Chain A
Amino acid sequence: MIEAKEIVRGLECSRFGRKAYTFETIDSTNNCARTLAECDAPEGALVFAEEQTAGKGRSGRTWVARPGENLTFSIVLRPAFPPEQINLFPLGVAVAVAEGIHRSTGLTVECKWPNDLMLAGRKCAGILMESALAGNGFAYIILGIGINVNQREFPEALRERATSLALHAGHDLDRTGILQGVLGSLERAYDTYTASGFQGVLPAWLARAQMIGARVAVDMQGSIVNGTVTGISPEGGLQLHTATGDLTLFAGDVTIVTMDPYAPRN
């Protein structure tokens, strides 16, 4: 099990992960981090668990990861940026996680809209953020991240869609080093966004994305929209060309994006 003192030792961060709570088993690191945030935990407080019994995905879905082989953690953020600017933040977080993985493993992971991370078309990391938002701005954002590191076997239902860093590196990887690398990238990115805004996010995200020009099927509350990705809007929306016209999708309108590797690219 990764201990809090291992995380802190050699950590290149002034806040992220400096206060670390580690658990063998927990329901959800996001839930725990929210409780800490409600109890005035400092920005950057980290909750790490070897096993989640109710790990969270989008729309009530679960995040499943084998205990002791992966990284599942959550960070308490108290952002100063205004809520109306938040749309590009999830893309920026994806880029930061991708950079952290690259720095610590040499692996190049791709970004899939809005903030999944992929290796050869399969998901290797997921990000789910939850915020408390009132009239005066964010009370906090909980940044939840799951990275498949050394897991090599996946349940039947996920086998075609999930992968891990180790499967691509060809050997087991140092989980603590990856966690520290990702925390470092995230803190630097977050400080940049706080100081100078999100203008650098889109070019960085697009440089890591392979889905422009791809044909996708988007599940919007049960109705499927088929189209070709033409770009990302300045506000971070997914721009689609469909048989019935052009669309820009935001937020949770997209629950599933299926990339078609045989689609003609622009």
Chain B
Amino acid sequence: MDLSVVKKLVKLLSESDVDEIEIEEEGKKIRIAKHSHRPQGSAPAAPVTWVTESPGSIAAAPVAAAPASSEPAPPSAAPAPAPGAPDSRLTEIRSPIVGTFYRAPAPDASPFVQVGSEIQPGMVLCIVEAMKLMNEIESDIAGKVAKVMVENGQPVEYDQVLFLVEKP
């Protein structure tokens, strides 16, 4: 299915009272649901709240993947590698700008993504605000959110890691 079609469906959903859309076309099925709902088969919907995962629950990306320049440590500190975790499958999503990190479009709204959320290219992951410019950071990869590296409302530096994503 064309990505632009998916984008339009997401927009349609976000502007309507409908909670989810499921479409089956030529054997491919797509289901888009609002943030307060989880994909089928996953854990039950979490309450609408800021979620801060405890460090150490999953593996950090390999150090070699980090840029040569000095990189500011995320507030949650580097998590210890979990035994047997497939490090190479984790991809970092970094902040393209300096600003303040928000996990939801408004303080009382559901987070864009949570640990376990399936993401697709073009999907909004978070907002980084730079002086009242609300930048919706879109994923350019598909995968599953493995870790949220920054707490809601915290300042982020240029190139700071925001999410770790497990590629399919």
Q: In the complex, are the beta carbons of B97 and A87 less than 8 A apart?
A: yes
Q: In the complex, are the beta carbons of B122 and A251 less than 8 A apart?
A: no
What per-residue 1/0 map shows which CB atoms of B90-104 lie under 8 Å from chain A?
000000111110100
Interface residues of B in 10-37 (CB under 8 A from A): 11, 15
Which of B54-62, B64-72, B106-114 is found at the contact surface with chain A? B106-114
B53 interface hit (Cβ, 8 Å): no
Interface size class of B (residues with CB under 8 A): 35 or more
A129 interface hit (Cβ, 8 Å): yes
Q: How far is the CB of A190 from chain B (nearest CB, A)?
A: 14
Chain A binding surface, main DSSP class? mixed
Number of residues of chain A lying within 8 A (CB) of chain B = 37
Q: How far is the CB of B23 from chain A (nearest CB, A)?
A: 18
Which of chain B's residues have a CB closer than 8 A to the CB of A128?
132, 134
Q: How far is the CB of B95 from chain A (nearest CB, A)?
A: 9
**Contacts A38-B7, A84-B97 hold; do A60 and B140 have CB atoms under 8 A apart?**
no
**Count of A-B contacts judged by CB separation below 8 Å:** 103
**Contacts A38-B11, A221-B153, A251-B155 hold; do A58 and B132 have CB atoms under 8 A apart?**
yes
Across the interface, name the chain B residue whose C-beta is closest to A35. Answer: B11
Q: In the complex the two chains form, what is the Cα distance from A127 to B133 in whole Å? A: 9
Q: In the complex the two chains form, what is the Cα distance from A253 to B130 in whole Å? A: 9
Q: In the complex, are the beta carbons of A130 and B136 less than 8 A apart?
A: yes
Q: In the complex, are the beta carbons of B134 and A129 less than 8 A apart?
A: yes
Q: How far is the CB of A231 from chain B (nearest CB, A)?
A: 15
Q: In the complex the two chains form, what is the Cα distance from A51 to B141 in whole Å? A: 39
Interface centre among A115, A128, A252 (most CB of B within 10 A): A252
Q: How far is the CB of B142 from chain A (nearest CB, A)?
A: 13
Interface centre among A87, A127, A139 (most CB of B within 10 A): A87
Q: In the complex, are the beta carbons of A131 and B107 less than 8 A apart?
A: no
12 extra interface residue pairs, beta carbon distance < 8 Å, beyond A84-B158, A134-B139: A31-B15, A60-B106, A83-B96, A87-B97, A87-B131, A90-B133, A114-B131, A115-B131, A130-B136, A139-B138, A251-B100, A253-B100
Give the interface of A toward B (CB within 8 A).
Answer: 27, 31, 34-35, 38, 58-60, 83-84, 86-87, 89-91, 114-115, 127-137, 139, 141, 221, 235-236, 250-253
A selection of 14 A-B contacts at a CB cut-off of 8 Å is: A59-B107, A87-B131, A90-B132, A115-B131, A132-B138, A133-B128, A133-B138, A134-B122, A135-B96, A135-B140, A235-B98, A252-B100, A252-B132, A253-B155
Give the interface of B toward A (CB within 8 A).
Answer: 4, 7-8, 11, 15, 96-100, 102, 105-109, 121-122, 124, 128-140, 153, 155, 158
